[in-house]
């Protein structure tokens, strides 16, 4: 086997050409964001609680995609995986939007009392458990932690993003070596911060509840969400005649395999958490699931079981589906929607315990947050190469073939 | 018809066995044999050579379907057993839960599904490969003993319509065979 | 063109490194792997085999006495109903998991370096499952009615409780043993054929030829074979996750603080892989030198194994921290007490042994020097296994010995029969492993050949290339 020659792609092969419709994505994203923001302002004024909950769901959804992207890219570096180099830039672009997400988190700070019962002044006085948790669940510490999480994630994200883009120009292999060396500690920091963030932002909605599995559950959902996003973006790029010769069926197949595997992993985590709480039947733990099985929430729970696991599992099992852009992208889009429903189902029963009560604000918040995310990510895409042009192991990734 | 069903040979020979030196030689030779239109032939290697199925023109193995069916049967069997025992045969109220406690039935359902699927994979593979088959005309060749060590072979059976004892042998030599042997049936 | 180990361990930024050193050809691989099986038994083998059989005898004696006298010969008593018996069970099942991970999961991730070690680690899996299944079997007390555990009609007309994780265990571990054995056997078929074709006596030819099923290397057969191998790997992966998750549920479905916590399933799986890899490391350090396989099981393989131990050890550390945080966060006084009791109570010695072996010792593996130093690898792998045994002991015994009712608190002490059963189980394990390396090829020769550069039909026939430093 001959030593693989180092391949350097020319920038024109891997950027969005001028005049390409994707150049308009930032404006489209900004437009959607504006529409969503107006909707939120108009409708939210009369119903602030609903606004804050809808906003929380959408922010959590898009933040989870960035967390998933961070995990994916750091794991690729740490494990020296070869196939994923071609799609790594998509992950990097996704997590480079973390500072934007931090800004989008700010509106929630005005609604902490609407969202979290422990943030209501005087709540701890009447509740012994809240008194116990007060050293952790108090507004100032919550704010400091949120700031810390976003600062740490931004630091890691921007460091990796910038280094990877600089390597496009220099082709310096030491960059890869350095990023690989820090990926391990980076993953540990990411695991700890994302776990605590999920406890702060989701678990504390039900302040008497607790689950040691929740950090893993949040990770599993985020990872599936990102891989789903990746599959949609990769197929869309090929459809838009970007990177057609660079991303092959083999890469689609591998993205599909990851999607399949982590859908199953999510189901395993979600079910384990449920089974253990259901089995022991302790009231302090079952309250969370009871709230999500009441009224029409039961239908949503069943939808998640069948739609987030059942159907995608059998759909993504076969080889043909994973190797075809249209079928893979459909699966990815479906799972993205399911991940959103998962987050919705985790958050909303606190506001609407009687049942599933969709609101226009849900859509408005999604447009606002999602529009900003799309605008930021696509703006970055216009100014960069879509693959790591001079990654030393790009050739291996390009030539990659599945069994 | 699958190659591995024994048939009556045309004449006194089983077929021709040709030895090749490297996987690359074998790969190219297989492509030529496939293109020449032979159907009752096979290649033999000490380990699976990447891409050789394509060079031989083989279709995808039906094994995944066998496994899927067996897995579903296993899941049904596992769940069915538990449902029957706990809701029909001897219902007992255990920890205040209903009879048909599907969450508690999942682990065993899953395990039995995997068991049936794995049995399907192994027995299916043995069946598709017509194994065990301890006796085969190829084993009479002394050179063939190295097939499990480091030698690569093509064998063409005599009941292939294009088989001819002389011409087929010459063709294989022209493809780079180290040695060509005519085997008795 | 020989490479030094140091060159090969360089960060492979450009191109994939060579896995097998000294550029052997296919025949050389066959020779070096088959040789230990074909030659006369060396003295070294007897030096391992005799003590192992002695310990196996100890096991037989201890188990017989246990059946005769009853569970009272162990130190188990109220409140500590489970102690060394179930600790040993979880310990052995955990070790088994690394074999399947190497065989199946690394196969799915296309990690070619697994081919040097997968045969022996799968064998390790099967023997570890045997040791594991022993303990739930003997700890039931009235062993003569152990068939009650199985869903077969019996004289009382009752069925086992399928809702109990103890029964999920019966199914999970037996399916795991069966599937692992099937996977191992399927992998062995081509190598058994190799041994058959090299056999010098009729007896050996028959002994290897019968289970080789008449394998003749037909590509049409390899085709279905490879499909089966991939499917078995894809089935074994969720199986591995499910088995140790089910084992963890033995504890997690209860109400006991320290046992009932939702993170147990993935935490136990990570711990299992952690301890399993440690055992594989211990075995491989001994075997590669004993059988002159240093060029097939290289320092690179140890580097990767140590990295996996670092990852899974860190996951275990994450789980410890989450449990600790949630013990406080939950506001549950019993939960908090359990964790304080572990660190500061009468079993603090066990707890801190566990922490230093499981959390501190794998941290050495951040450093490449540690990952590629045979003495450090050997010592740390043994420490990790000790730590993981103690982890199960701490979870089981400290949670039981002081639960809700202080008047029921007690202190468990093992008896000589507890110790004999544990040591004896090592005897069973090492006896089986010694027999394995004596009679079967301990490296998957057919698979190793596929990772040699000569195996690529599209590549050059030249042997492994050198890495040129600073090549552009």
C110 close to B (CB below 8 A): no
* Beta strand residue intervals within A105-263, DSSP E: none
Residues of chain C with Cβ-Cβ distance to A195 below 8 Å are 318, 322
Token reading at B12: 């006194």
pLDDT over 70 percentage in chain A: 97
**Selected residue of B103, B114, B117 to mutate for chain A interface (largest A Cβ count, 10 A):** B103
Q: Do C262 and A4 touch (CB under 8 A)?
A: no
User: Using the beta-carbon criterion (under 8 Å), do C220 and B149 form an inter-chain contact?
Assistant: no
**Smallest Cα distance from A271 to chain B, Å:** 8
How many contacts, defined by CB atoms under 8 Å, are there between B and C? Answer: 212
Residue B124: pLDDT band with limits 50, 70, 90: very high
Q: How far apart are CA B95 and CA B22, in angstroms?
A: 66
Task: Quote the pLDDT of residue C254.
Answer: 93
Q: What is the 3-state secondary structure (H, E, C) of chain B?
A: CCCCCCCCCCCCEEEEEEEECCHHHHHHHHHHHHHCCCCCEEEECCCCCCCHHHHHCCCCCCHHHHHHHHHHHHHHHHHHHHHHHHHHHCCCCCCCCCCCCHHHHHHHHHHHHHHHHHHHHHHHHHHHCCCCCCCCHHHHCCHHHHHHCCCEEEEEECCCCCCCHHHHHHHHHHCCCCEEEEEEC
How much is the pLDDT for C5?
A: 47
- Contact flag C235-B46 (C-beta cutoff 8 Å): no
Query: Is 80 exceeded by the pLDDT of residue B53?
Result: yes
C260 and A269 within 8 Å at the Cβ level: the answer is no
Comparing alpha-carbon positions, the chain C residue that sits nearest to A264 is C238
> Of chain A residues 348-377, which have a CB less than 8 A from chain B?
none
User: Residue B103 and residue A317: Cβ atoms within 8 Å?
Assistant: no
For position C417, what pLDDT does the model report?
A: 96
Q: Assess whether pLDDT exceeds 60 at residue B3.
A: no
Residues of C in contact with B89 (CB under 8 A): 159
Structure tokens that stand for C112 in this block: 């070619």
* A259-268, A293-302, B134-143: range with lowest mean pLDDT: B134-143
Tokens of A140: 């100032």
Residue C471 has pLDDT above 70, yes or no: no
- Chain-chain contact of B104 with A279 (C-beta, under 8 angstroms): yes
Q: Which of B68, B95, B106 sits opposite A281 (nearest CB)?
A: B95
**pLDDT value at B1 more than 60:** no
pLDDT tens for A320-365 read 999 999 999 999 999 999 999 999 999 999 999 999 999 999 999 9
- Looking at residue A8, its pLDDT comes to 64
Cross-chain Cβ contact B95/A317 below 8 Å: no
Residue B10 reports pLDDT greater than 80:
no
A242 contacts A22 by C-beta, under 8 angstroms: yes
Question: Does B68 sit within 8 Å of A274, measured CB to CB?
Answer: no
The fraction of chain A above a pLDDT of 90, given in percent, is 79
Looking at residue C271, its pLDDT comes to 95
Report the mean per-residue pLDDT for chain C.
Answer: 90
- Residues from chain A that touch C265, judged by Cβ atoms under 8 A, are 213, 268-269, 272
Which parts of A240-359 fold into alpha helices (H)? 249-280, 283-291, 297-304, 311-315, 319-323, 325-347
C263 Cα to chain A: minimum distance (Å): 4
Percent pLDDT > 70 in chain C is: 93
Q: Which of C266, C464, C468 sits opposite A269 (nearest CB)?
A: C266
Q: Model confidence at A1, in pLDDT bands (50, 70, 90)?
A: very low
Neighbouring chains to C with at least 3 Cβ pairs closer than 8 Å? A, B
Q: What is the pLDDT of residues A174-192, one digit of tens each?
A: 999 999 999 999 999 999 9
Q: What's the whole-model pTM score?
A: 0.92
- Whether A268 and chain B come into contact, CB under 8 Å, resolves to no
Contact flag A275-B68 (C-beta cutoff 8 Å): no
**A 38-57 residues with CB < 8 A to B:** none
CB pair distance less than 8 Å for A271 and B96: no
pLDDT of residue A260: 96
> Can you tell me the ipTM of this complex?
0.93
The contacts of residue C116 (CB under 8 Å, 6+ apart) are C19, C20, C293, C296, C297, C298, C301, C443, C448
| Candidates C14, C242, C255; nearest CB to A392 | C14
For the cut 60, the answer to whether the pLDDT of residue C11 exceeds it is no
pLDDT at B27 over 80: yes
Chain B interface includes C461 (CB < 8 A)? yes
Nearest Cα of chain B lies from the Cα of C461 at a distance, in angstroms, of: 8
Residues 212-251 of C with CB under 8 A from B: 213-228, 231-232, 235-236, 238-239, 242, 246, 249
Give the separation between CA B70 and CA C420, rounded to whole angstroms. Answer: 43
Model confidence band, residue C464 (pLDDT cutoffs 50, 70, 90): very low
Nearest CB to C459 within list A1, A199, A282: A1
What percent of chain C stands above pLDDT 90?
Answer: 75
C-alpha–C-alpha distance, residues B131 and B118, integer Å: 17
> b/e per residue, A175-184, with b = 16+ CB within 10 A?
bbeebbebbb
Give the model's pLDDT for residue B9.
61
Helix (H, G, I), strand (E, B) or coil at A20: coil
What average pLDDT is seen over chain A?
92
Cβ burial of A128 (10 Å; 0-12, 13-18, 19+) is: exposed
- CA B125 to centroid of chain Cα atoms: 6
CB C185 within 8 A of CB B123: no
Contact A377, A94 (CB under 8 A): yes
Write out pLDDT tens, residues A50-100.
999 999 999 999 999 999 999 999 999 998 877 889 999 999 999 999 999
10 Å Cβ neighbour count for A110? 11
**Is the pLDDT at C122 greater than 80, yes or no?**
yes
Q: What percent of chain B has pLDDT over 90?
A: 52
- Three-state SS sequence of C299-341: HHHHHHHHHHHHHHHHHHHHHHHHHHHHHHHCCCHHHHHHHHH
Does the CB of C423 have a partner CB in chain B at under 8 Å? no
Among B43, B64, B126, select the one facing C231 at the smallest CB separation: B64
pLDDT of residue C397: 96
Instruction: Tell me the chain C residues in contact with residue B150 when contact means C-beta distances shorter than 8 Å.
Output: 25-27, 30, 449
Tell me the pLDDT band of B160, cut-offs 50, 70 and 90. confident
Between strands B13-20 and B41-44, the pairing is: unpaired
Least confident of A73-77, C11-15, C117-121, C368-372: C11-15
What pLDDT, on a 0 to 100 scale, did the predictor assign at position B95?
A: 86
In terms of Cβ atoms closer than 10 Å to its own Cβ (0-12, 13-18, 19+), residue C347 is: buried
Q: Would the pLDDT of A24 be above 50?
A: yes
pLDDT level of residue C372 (50, 70, 90 thresholds) = very high
β-strands B179-184, B41-44: how paired? Answer: unpaired
**Is residue B167 less than 8 Å (CB to CB) from chain A?**
no
Q: Is the pLDDT of residue C230 over 60?
A: yes
* Residues of chain C contacting B115 with CB distance shorter than 8 Å: 175, 178-179
Q: Which residue has the tokens 């993170």?
A: C263
* The predicted structure's pLDDT at residue C155: 83
Chain B neighbors of C221, CB-CB under 8 A: 4, 129, 131
Q: Inform me whether the C-beta atom of residue C154 falls under 8 Å from chain B C-beta atoms.
A: no
pLDDT at C115 over 70: yes
Kindly report, residue by residue over A271-282, the tens digit of the pLDDT. 999 999 999 999
* Chain A environment of B95 (Cβ under 8 Å): 279, 281
Residue A399 has pLDDT above 80, yes or no: no
DSSP helix/strand/coil, C200: coil
pLDDT surpasses 90 at A368? yes
- For C465, which of A1, A82, A280 is closest by C-beta distance? A1
Neighboring chain B residues of C151 at a CB cutoff of 8 Å = 81, 85
Say whether pLDDT at B33 is over 70. yes
Which of A145-159, B13-27, C249-263 comes out lowest in average pLDDT? B13-27
Q: Span C63-83, mean pLDDT?
A: 94
Burial C263-299 (b: 16+ CB within 10 A, else e): bbbbbbbbbbbbbbbbbbbbbbbebbeebebebbbbb
Which tokens belong to C212? 């080789």
pLDDT at C467 over 70: no
pLDDT at residue C125, rounded to an integer? 95
Minimum mean pLDDT range among A94-108, A285-299, A330-344, B169-183: B169-183
Instruction: Verify whether the Cβ–Cβ distance A279 to B103 is below 8 Å.
Output: yes
Measured between beta carbons, the chain C residues lying within 8 angstroms of B94 are 161, 163
**Nearest residue, CB atoms, B147 vs list C216, C220, C457:** C216
Highest mean pLDDT among B133-147, C160-174, C290-304: C160-174
Burial class (CB in 10 A: 0-12, 13-18, 19+), C349: exposed
Note every long-range contact of C63-70, with CB atoms under 8 Å and residues 24 or more positions apart, other chains counting.
C63/C134, C63/C138, C63/C421, C63/C424, C65/C417, C66/C138, C66/C417, C66/C421, C67/C138, C67/C143, C70/C141
């Amino acid at each position: 086997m001959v030593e693989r020659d180092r391949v350097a792609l020319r920038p024109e092969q891997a950027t969005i050409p001028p005049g390409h419709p994707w150049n308009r994505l930032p404006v489209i994203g900004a437009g959607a964001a504006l529409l969503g923001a107006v909707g939120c302002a108009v409708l939210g004024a009369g119903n602030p609680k609903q606004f804050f909950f809808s906003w929380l769901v959408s922010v959590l959804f898009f933040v989870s995609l960035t967390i998933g992207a961070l995990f994916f890219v750091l794991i690729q570096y740490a494990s020296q995986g070869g196939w994923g180099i071609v799609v790594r830039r998509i992950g990097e672009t996704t997590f480079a939007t973390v500072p934007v997400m931090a800004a989008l988190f700010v509106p929630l700070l005005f609604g902490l009392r609407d969202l979290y019962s422990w943030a209501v002044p005087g709540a701890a006085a009447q509740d012994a458990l809240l008194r116990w948790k007060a050293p952790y669940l108090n507004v100032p510490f919550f704010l400091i932690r949120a700031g810390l999480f976003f600062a740490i994630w931004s630091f890691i994200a921007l460091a990796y993003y910038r280094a990877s883009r600089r390597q496009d120009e220099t082709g310096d292999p030491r960059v890869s070596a350095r990023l690989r060396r820090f990926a391990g500690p980076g993953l540990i920091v990411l695991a700890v911060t994302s776990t605590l963030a999920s406890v702060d932002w989701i678990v504390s909605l039900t302040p008497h509840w607790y689950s040691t599995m929740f950090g893993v559950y949040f990770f599993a959902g985020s990872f599936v969400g990102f891989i789903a996003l990746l599959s949609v973006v990769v197929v869309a790029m090929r459809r838009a005649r970007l990177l057609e010769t660079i991303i092959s069926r083999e890469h689609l197949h591998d993205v599909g395999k990851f999607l399949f595997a982590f859908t199953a992993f999510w189901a395993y985590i979600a079910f384990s958490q449920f089974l253990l709480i259901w089995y022991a039947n302790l009231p302090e733990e079952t309250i969370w699931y009871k709230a999500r099985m009441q009224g029409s929430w039961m239908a949503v729970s069943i939808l998640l079981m069948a739609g987030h696991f059942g159907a995608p599992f059998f759909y993504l099992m076969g080889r043909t589906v994973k190797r075809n852009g249209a079928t893979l992208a459909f699966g990815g889009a479906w799972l993205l929607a399911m991940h959103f429903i998962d987050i919705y189902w985790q958050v909303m029963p606190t506001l609407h315990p009687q049942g599933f009560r969709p609101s226009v604000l849900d859509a408005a918040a999604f447009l606002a947050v999602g529009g900003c995310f799309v605008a930021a990510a696509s703006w970055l895409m216009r100014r960069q190469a879509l693959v790591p042009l001079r990654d030393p192991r790009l050739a291996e990734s390009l030539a990659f073939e599945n069994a | 018809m699958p190659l591995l069903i024994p048939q009556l040979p045309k004449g006194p020979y089983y077929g021709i066995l040709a030895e090749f030196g490297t996987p690359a030689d074998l790969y190219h030779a297989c492509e030529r044999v496939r293109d020449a239109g032979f159907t009752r032939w096979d290649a033999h290697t000490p380990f699976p050579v990447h891409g050789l199925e394509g060079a031989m023109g083989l279709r995808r193995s039906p094994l995944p379907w066998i496994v899927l069916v067996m897995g579903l049967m296993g899941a049904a069997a596992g769940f069915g057993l538990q449902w029957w025992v706990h809701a029909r045969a001897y219902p007992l109220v255990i920890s205040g839960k209903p009879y048909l406690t599907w969450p508690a039935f999942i682990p065993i359902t899953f395990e039995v599904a995997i068991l049936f699927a794995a049995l399907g994979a192994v027995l299916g593979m043995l069946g598709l490969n017509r194994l065990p088959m301890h006796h085969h005309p190829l084993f009479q060749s002394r050179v063939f003993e190295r097939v499990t060590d480091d030698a690569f072979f093509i064998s063409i059976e005599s009941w292939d319509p294009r088989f001819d004892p002389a011409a087929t042998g010459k063709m294989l030599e022209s493809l780079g065979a180290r040695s060509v042997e005519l085997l008795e049936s | 063109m020989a490479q030094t180990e140091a060159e090969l361990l360089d960060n492979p930024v450009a191109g994939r490194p060579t896995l097998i050193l000294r550029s052997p050809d296919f025949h050389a691989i066959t020779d070096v792997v088959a040789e230990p099986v074909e030659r006369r038994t060396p003295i070294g083998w007897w030096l391992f085999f005799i003590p192992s059989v002695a310990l196996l005898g100890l096991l037989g004696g201890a188990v017989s006495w246990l059946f005769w006298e009853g569970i009272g010969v162990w130190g188990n008593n109220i409140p500590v109903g489970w102690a060394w018996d179930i600790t040993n069970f979880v310990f052995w099942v955990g070790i088994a998991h690394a074999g399947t991970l190497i065989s199946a999961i690394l196969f799915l991730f296309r990690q070619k370096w697994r081919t040097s070690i997968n045969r022996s680690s799968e064998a390790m899996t099967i023997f570890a499952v045997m040791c594991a299944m022993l303990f739930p079997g003997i700890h039931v007390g009235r062993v003569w009615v152990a068939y009650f555990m199985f869903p077969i009609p019996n004289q009382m007309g009752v069925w086992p409780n399928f809702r109990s994780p103890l029964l999920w265990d019966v199914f999970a571990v037996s399916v795991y043993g069966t599937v692992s054995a099937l996977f191992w056997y399927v992998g062995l078929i081509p190598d058994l054929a190799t041994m058959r074709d090299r056999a010098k006596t009729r007896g050996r030819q028959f002994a290897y030829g019968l289970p080789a099923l008449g394998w003749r290397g037909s590509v049409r057969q390899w085709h279905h074979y490879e499909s089966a191998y991939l499917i078995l790997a894809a089935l074994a992966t969720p199986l591995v996750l499910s088995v140790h998750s089910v084992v963890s549920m033995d504890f997690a479905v209860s109400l006991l603080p320290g046992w009932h916590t939702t993170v147990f399933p993935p935490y136990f799986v990570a711990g299992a892989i952690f301890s399993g890899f440690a055992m594989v490391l211990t075995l491989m350090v001994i075997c590669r030198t004993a059988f002159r396989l240093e060029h097939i099981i290289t320092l690179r393989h140890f580097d990767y194994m140590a990295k996996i131990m670092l990852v899974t050890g860190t996951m275990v550390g994450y789980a410890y921290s989450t449990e600790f945080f949630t013990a406080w966060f939950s506001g549950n006084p019993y939960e908090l007490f359990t964790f304080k009791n572990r660190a500061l109570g009468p079993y603090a010695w066990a707890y801190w042994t566990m922490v230093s072996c499981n959390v501190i010792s794998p941290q050495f593996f951040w450093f490449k020097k540690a990952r590629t130093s045979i003495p450090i690898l050997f010592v740390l792998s043994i420490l990790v296994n000790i730590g993981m045994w103690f982890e199960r002991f701490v979870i089981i015994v400290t949670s039981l010995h002081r639960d809700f009712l202080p008047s029921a608190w007690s202190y468990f002490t093992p008896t000589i029969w507890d110790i004999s059963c544990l040591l004896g189980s090592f005897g069973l394990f090492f006896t089986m492993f010694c027999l394995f390396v004596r009679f079967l090829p301990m490296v998957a020769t057919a698979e190793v050949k596929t990772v040699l550069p000569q195996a690529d039909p599209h590549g050059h026939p030249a042997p492994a290339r050198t890495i040129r430093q600073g090549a552009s």
